[in-house]
Structure 1
C-alpha cells in the first residue's frame, strides 16, 4: 500500500561533494533508512550529482534519492532542486539564474536565510550587543525577490533563527521547507519536509514544493544550537 504522505530530508551534504561534510553518501542514505525517512535530497555545495548515480543509490537502498545543489550566491546560499547542470557561473546574476532554473523546471529555496543574523549563537541579538531587527525588515532582502520559498527548519540553526524564519514565511505568504543540513550521520533527519501526497519522482517532488503541498517539521531540534 502506498503511503498517503512522505517524509524527506531536503538538505544534506556528502563528503564526496562537500569538503565540509564528514559523511559518505552511502552512510547518509543508510542513516536516512534507519530513521524511517522516505527520501533524501543530496544538496552539496556548488556540486551537482549525476542523476544516474542517484538512481542507482535509490535502487540499492529502497528510498528515494534525489539531487540538488546548495549554491553560493551574492545574496546568500540558495537550494536548487530539479536542475542537474552547473550553475555556479550565475552566482552573481540572480535574474539569469532564476530564469534558467525556471526554464529547466526547477525550484529555488533560500537556505537558512537568517544565519548571518544569528550566526549559530544560542543567544539573542540583544544579548550579543546587536541592535534588534524586525522580521518585516529581513523580508525585504533581495534573496526573497528570486526564490520560490525559504527554509524554515534547518538542523544547524539556532532556535532564534528558526523562529525568525517561521515568522518570515508568514509575512511572505510562503510555506517554508525543512532540512537537516546534515554534515554527519547523527543529524540526518533532524528537520524534514513532509509531503501531503506520495512522491515517486523528482518531478513530483518539485511539483509538490511548487504547489505548497507539504509541511516543514522539526524532529530532534535543540532549544539552542542544533548539532552538525
Structure 2
C-alpha cells in the first residue's frame, strides 16, 4: 500500500515566512489525505521531543510526523533529511551547494533540490554534479511553466522527482505530495526510501 507524504512544509514556530500554526498541521494533513508530513523549517530542525509533543496533542497521535530542514545555499535551496537536529547549526548559510550536500552526506543525510527552477531561487547547471536523491518538480511555489521546466531538468540529468506542497499557509498542506511504496515509520526509513528511489510523484492532488 502506497504512503502519501508531504516532504516540504513550514510552520510559524520556526519559519517567519509561514503562518501555519503547528497545532493545526496534523489535522489539516489528515483532512488532505496524507499519511505523513515532514516539517522543513529554514535552517532549523524540530527535535524528536517536539514532534512527539505535537503528535500527542493532536487528534491523530499515530500520524507520521517527521522533520528535516531547508538550507539556503549560494545557488539554490536544499531539503535535507536524516541529519541529527543538533548538527544543523554546522550548516552555515550561503555555502556553495556542493559543500552543504557533502556535509549532509557525511552526517548520514540525503538531499533534495527544492524548487530548482523557481525564478531567482533556482540552481545553475552545476546541479547535475550534486549528489541528490531527487528534484522537487511540483509545489505551490513553482508556477506551471516552472514545474514543466523542473520535470525537463530532472529528465535531462537523470534525477528522480518528488512533489511537495512547500506550504506556508494551512490550506496548502498536502496540495502536492509524494507516494512511497515501502513502509515509512521514522526518518531512517524515509532516508532509505529516498536513497533507493522507492517513491514517485503523486498525481492529481487537491488540498482539503
TM score, norm. by length of structure 1: 0.80
Matching residue of 1:107: 110
CA contact (8 A) 2:116 2:123 kept: no
1:49-106 C-alpha deviation (Å, 9 max, x unpaired): 1122113334553211111111111011111111122244163143432222112211
Matching residue of 2:201: 216
3-state DSSP class of the match of 1:8?
strand
Residues matched between the structures, number: 200
Matching residue of 2:20: 23
The match for 1:146 among 120, 130, 143 is 130
3-state DSSP class of the match of 1:33?
helix
State the distance in 1 between where 2:73 and 2:158 align: 23
Give the alignment's Cα RMSD to 1 decimal. 2.2
CA contact (8 A) 1:9 1:180 kept: yes
3-state DSSP class of the match of 2:92?
helix
CA contact (8 A) 2:139 2:163 kept: yes
State the distance in 2 between where 1:87 and 1:182 align: 26
- Residue segments in structure 1 that go unaligned for 5+ positions in a row: 120-137, 222-226
State the distance in 1 between where 2:74 and 2:124 align: 15
State the distance in 2 between where 1:211 and 1:100 align: 20
State the distance in 2 between where 1:173 and 1:105 align: 23
State the distance in 1 between where 2:157 and 2:56 align: 38
TM score, norm. by length of structure 2: 0.87
State the distance in 1 between where 2:40 and 2:123 align: 24
Matching residue of 2:148: 163
Matching residue of 1:126: none
CA contact (8 A) 2:68 2:80 kept: yes
Q: How far is the alpha carbon of 1:142 from its aligned partner?
A: 2.1
Question: How has the CA–CA distance of structure 1 residues 87 and 25 changed in structure 2, closer, same or farther, with 3 Å as cutoff?
Answer: farther
1:15-37 C-alpha deviation (Å, 9 max, x unpaired): 01110111111212210011221
State the distance in 1 between where 2:128 and 2:69 align: 18
